[in-house]
Amino acid sequence: MTISSSLNAGVAGLAANASRLATIADNIANSATFGYKRAEADFSSLVIESGTGTYSAGGVRATTQRLIDQPGALASTSNETDLAVRGRGFLPVTRESASLNSIGDFPLFLATTGSFRTDADGFLRTPSGVTLMGWPADADGSIPTFARDTGDGLEPVQINVNQFTSEPTTQISLGLNLPATETEFGADGGILPLSVEYFDNLGTSQSIGMDFTPTVPAVAGSSNTWTMTLSDSASGGAVVGEYTIVFDDTRGSGGTIASVTATTGGAYDALTGEFTIPVDGGDITINIGAVASGSGLTQLSDSFAPTAISKDGSPVGNLISVDVDANGFLSANFDIGITRVIYQIPLIDVSNPNGLEALDNQIYNTSSQSGSIFLWDASDGPTGDIVAFALEESATDVAGELTQLIQTQRAYSSNAKVIQTVDEMLQETTNIKR
């Protein structure tokens, strides 16, 4: 019985070291695989109860696990959608087959890195078919509220490389000097015109016509008063606002706005210097300067000179690139100089990363040992951040694996020697009968 148990222990030792050799071979084979997490074999002894004066060898048992919580070094790349997680957390991904079906059911998997590029359909995926997922943004670039304990709100990230965009104008700031001499007795009282471009809801260029008409006194003196009439080209030239502007002529405040009275259009706010006019596609707020501020509209000397005209909005532009910031916001950049958020990529956290089920292509699935998922904003809570232009290198230390390879080879040879010795002893026992 004791000799037989020694034989069994030797066989168990061979099997255990063969398992360890397999993990070492896998680690070395994937030493250049981005995102690879090394596997490790642990040994535990088996003890069999023995009687007095005897001992039965129980042998050894090998258990293997993948050390998913051990990060690899980050390597910089030239692709803006090469992504790696720096710190705790996983990128949400799915398989290529799921992103191409029409059912809308996207199985959720986890990854720590990926070289994502757009395919023929615009999906961001790796050469092996792993597809990045994220929360889609609304048209204004804001991210709706999604449940954080499920991946149901996540969608495969799809970028339309032929995408166009525009932004309507909602704000105009007007800096302009009106000639004080035009409101003096004897001036001709001619209208001074100005046209300011804006962009409508479809990105089309429109204009607001601004006519400044001075009030010329009938007797000597100066009125310091102007009538500003605003018309909208998109409305066929209809008047959308009319304001009477009186300027101060006192020492220290001369040339600044004293009061503004609305005849048509929105009321003037003396503190902010703003009023709102209704153009064809919606309202536009115009800032002409607050009372006595000296900014915006002024009335000085004899020159009619726009000094500063600024506005928001933009014409139609083409998408030229995308980028991902550390907080996981994927933004589209357009050739007109605007940037718009189109997705947010959260980071997934589990209580036991080493309990995840390892799958092909360096992706993982949850299991009963890993715990449930929670989706965090990148750089929030326990999670790290997302690094673009980077990939996570393999966590394999080749020098360490080769050292373990030598140890495993020696242990395997020693167990084989035990089996050889048991065989010789059994042969001696058989020879007793001769």
Distance CA 25, CA 38 (A): 10
Stretch among 221-225, 241-245, 273-277, 424-428 having the lowest mean pLDDT: 424-428
Strand 60-66 and strand 39-45: the pairing is antiparallel
Distance CA 93, CA 113 (A): 10
pLDDT at 1 over 60: no
Distance CA 292, CA 337 (A): 35
Radius of gyration of the chain (CA): 38
Cα–chain center distance at 309: 34
Mean pLDDT of the chain: 92
Distances (CA, A) of 13 to 9, 60, 349: 6, 6, 38
Burial of 253 (0-12, 13-18, 19+ CB in 10 A): middle
Arithmetic mean of pLDDT, 103-124: 89
Q: Give the pLDDT band of residue 147 (cuts 50, 70, 90).
A: very high
Q: For the chain, percent helix, then strand, then coil, each to nearest 5?
A: 20, 40, 40
Q: Give the pLDDT band of residue 297 (cuts 50, 70, 90).
A: very high
Distance CA 91, CA 288 (A): 49
Domain boundary among 277, 312, 347: 312
The answer to whether residues 409 and 388 belong to one domain is no
The answer to whether residues 177 and 154 belong to one domain is no
Distances (CA, A) of 281 to 268, 278, 284, 340: 21, 8, 9, 21
The answer to whether residues 6 and 84 belong to one domain is no
The answer to whether residues 384 and 417 belong to one domain is no
Burial of 122 (0-12, 13-18, 19+ CB in 10 A): middle
The answer to whether residues 176 and 157 belong to one domain is no
The answer to whether residues 273 and 291 belong to one domain is yes
The answer to whether residues 225 and 262 belong to one domain is yes
pLDDT at 296 over 70: yes
The answer to whether residues 199 and 250 belong to one domain is yes
The single-letter DSSP state of residue 123 is B
Distances (CA, A) of 80 to 11, 238, 321: 52, 48, 9
User: Is residue 358 left, alpha or beta, with left meaning phi > 0 and alpha meaning psi from -120 to 50?
Assistant: beta
pLDDT at position 6: 84
Q: What is the CATH number of the domain that holds 271?
A: 2.60.98.20
The answer to whether residues 191 and 274 belong to one domain is yes
How many of the other CB atoms lie within 10 Å of CB of 424? 10
The answer to whether residues 181 and 297 belong to one domain is yes
The token pair at 197 is: 């471009």
Distance CA 192, CA 185 (A): 17
Q: Give the pLDDT band of residue 403 (cuts 50, 70, 90).
A: very high
What total of structural domains would you count in the chain? 3
Distance CA 23, CA 408 (A): 11
Instruction: Spell out the residues 6+ positions from residue 265 whose beta carbon is closer than 8 angstroms to its own.
Output: 230, 240, 241, 242, 243, 275, 276, 277, 278
Domain boundary among 312, 331, 350: 312
The answer to whether residues 301 and 177 belong to one domain is yes
Distance CA 176, CA 222 (A): 20
Summarize pLDDT for 59-70 with one digit per residue, the tens.
888 888 999 999
Higher-pLDDT residue of 56 and 143 is 143
Sheet holding 385-388, edge to edge: 113-115, 82-86, 385-388
Complete DSSP assignment for 279-301: ETTEEEEEE---TT--SSEEE-T
Q: Is 220 helix (H, G, I), strand (E, B) or coil?
A: coil
The answer to whether residues 183 and 295 belong to one domain is yes
Strand 329-334 and strand 357-358: the pairing is unpaired
Domain boundary among 270, 295, 312: 312
**Angle subtended by helix axes 2-29 and 398-431, to nearest 10:** 160
Distance CA 365, CA 29 (A): 23
Distance CA 235, CA 237 (A): 6
Question: Using an 8 Å Cβ cutoff, are 173 and 293 in contact?
Answer: no
Closest by alpha carbon to 340, among 356, 326, 323? 323
- Give residue 340's domain range: 74-165+317-392
Higher-pLDDT residue of 397 and 46 is 397
Q: Give the pLDDT band of residue 256 (cuts 50, 70, 90).
A: very high
The torsion defined by the Cα of 396, 398, 400 and 404, in degrees rounded to 10, comes to 100
